[in-house]
Amino acid sequence: EDLYTGSLAMRKTALGHHQMALCLMEKGQYERAKEHFLAALSIKQNPRILNNLGALFFHLGEPDKTIHYGQDALKRLKPGVPSNIKLEIHYNMARAFLVKGAVDQAKRYMKKTCEMLSAGYGTPPARIKIMAWFGGQGIPCGSDKKGGL
């Protein structure tokens, strides 16, 4: 099977659509990414896909949809799911609530995010991104055991 044929077969799977959406999102092609995230969800309702679609909507200036997909992702998490996923969901929810001006709700998600960072969760790129965002908000997070809030 050649690379092209394999690529076409991969695009018919939730994983294939999800990976394509992430690549398109990275390139700033948000509308095309949204199509692939939605195609992935039509195949499999997965917390990681839901969270990444929520993050996409944050980039599109739609924090209500970020919150909707984040809440759906949290509901679908199964026991034993890596906390790296929970970390990113809470981070996206904190940003969305903050943009909406719902400060108390944002603080609740920020606190949980900081607690998970302090416990060592998150991939190195995610940790750097999240700590930089908190730093930009003037909130120490991840380096102390108090969680910064």
pLDDT at 82: 67
pLDDT at 149: 53
pLDDT at 11: 61
Which DSSP symbol is given to 108?
H
For 2, list phi and psi in degrees, rounded to 5: -80, 170
Rounded Cα distance, 76 and 64, in Å: 19
Return the residue matching tokens 């909507």: 57
pLDDT at 123: 85
Residues of the chain whose pLDDT is less than 70?
A: 1-11, 82, 142-149
pLDDT at 2: 46
User: Which are the contacts of 71, defined by CB distance < 8 A and separation ≥ 6?
Assistant: 93
What is the SS3 assignment for 119? coil
- pTM of the entire predicted model: 0.83
Rounded Cα distance, 96 and 63, in Å: 5
- Output the six-digit token pair for 46: 């997965």
pLDDT at 80: 75
For 79, list phi and psi in degrees, rounded to 5: -55, 140
